[in-house]
Amino acid sequence: MEKFEKIIITGSGGFVGKALVARLIDSHSIIGLDRNPLEQCKDNFSFESIDLASDESVEQALAKVRGQHNTSLASVIHLASYFDLTGEPNLKYEEVTVRGTERLLRELQSFEVDQFVFASSMLAHKATSPGEVIDEARPLEASLPYRASKIAAERLVHLHRGNIPVVYLRPAGVYDDLCHNPFLAHQISRIYEEDPKGHIYPGDLRTGQSFLHVDDLVEAIALLIHKRGDLPPDFRYCWASPMSWATASCNRKSAG
């Protein structure tokens, strides 16, 4: 075994991607794939620009990886996807999240990949009744474009993974100590601004929104990589313990 096992992280310049690179950089050789480069001075980090919406770009990026590294990969952590806050349909959901995942998987078939981790979302699950906790067995529901894109991509991964073992990761709302989560940050702002809406939960107190600290998420991903040989080839995992909007805080706290 090489001193540093090789890992590809798509979306390496994003919120979770940066945290994951920082967590793994001292123990793995990381290949970051993103549209914009992530500055990282460690010798065991390399970067390739990629546009998941382009066949040519994905082919070229993976060809460069194949040429500069051997084809053995401990894990591919696929974080990159499209998201906006409008809730409206957008062709980028199909082009980036769904077809981009298909393009990536197609090119990975020429590699020896121990594990493919697809970052889905707990939002892909159908809503529950008050007091009922979401788990991996909960049905999926494509009621919004973002949810629909994640569900479609999950199904595509299942069909086209070939012999690559897959983890479908469905995290809750990810935040950090600086509250880089708009939904959580806005609610806390209302509390500090003494807005009555920040102190009143307009609904059943047995319901709530789950949150997951980014440090806990990257630790979980690190553990998934380390334990990859012990996992089933088609593994699903979500975080789903509810945290009420009325009691949410920016203190580091895992909600799952």
pLDDT at 255 over 70: no
The secondary structure of the chain in percent helix, strand, coil, rounded to multiples of 5, reads: 35, 20, 45
Digit-coded pLDDT (tens) for 206-247: 777 788 899 999 999 999 999 999 999 999 988 754 433 333
Buried b (16+ CB within 10 A) or exposed e, 235-249: bbbbbbebbebeebe
Amino acid at 47: F
- Give the pLDDT score at 89: 95
Digit-coded pLDDT (tens) for 84-101: 988 899 999 999 999 999
Amino acid at 43: D
Q: How many CB atoms neighbour CB 175 within 10 A?
A: 24
Amino acid at 246: A
- Give the pLDDT score at 240: 54
In the structure, what pLDDT confidence band is assigned to residue 171 with cuts at 50, 70 and 90? very high
Q: Which residue from 130, 153, 129, 127 is spatially nearest to 141, judged by alpha carbons?
A: 127
In which element (H, E) is residue 7 found?
strand 5-10
The number of angstroms, rounded, from the C-alpha of 215 to the middle of its chain's C-alpha atoms is 13
CB 5 within 8 A of CB 29: yes
Buried b (16+ CB within 10 A) or exposed e, 196-228: eebeeeeeeeebbbbbbbbebbbebbbebbeeb
Please tell me whether residue 100 adopts helix, strand or coil conformation: helix
CATH number for region 5-174+214-238: 3.40.50.720
**Overall pTM > 0.75:** yes
Q: For the chain, give every domain's residue range.
A: 5-174+214-238
* DSSP 8-state assignment for residue 96: I
In the structure, what pLDDT confidence band is assigned to residue 187 with cuts at 50, 70 and 90? confident
- Give the pLDDT score at 186: 73
Residue given tokens 């983890």 in the structure block: 167
CB 147 within 8 A of CB 123: yes
CB 8 within 8 A of CB 61: no
Q: Which residue from 156, 134, 136 is spatially nearest to 209, judged by alpha carbons?
A: 134
Tokens of 230: 């012990």
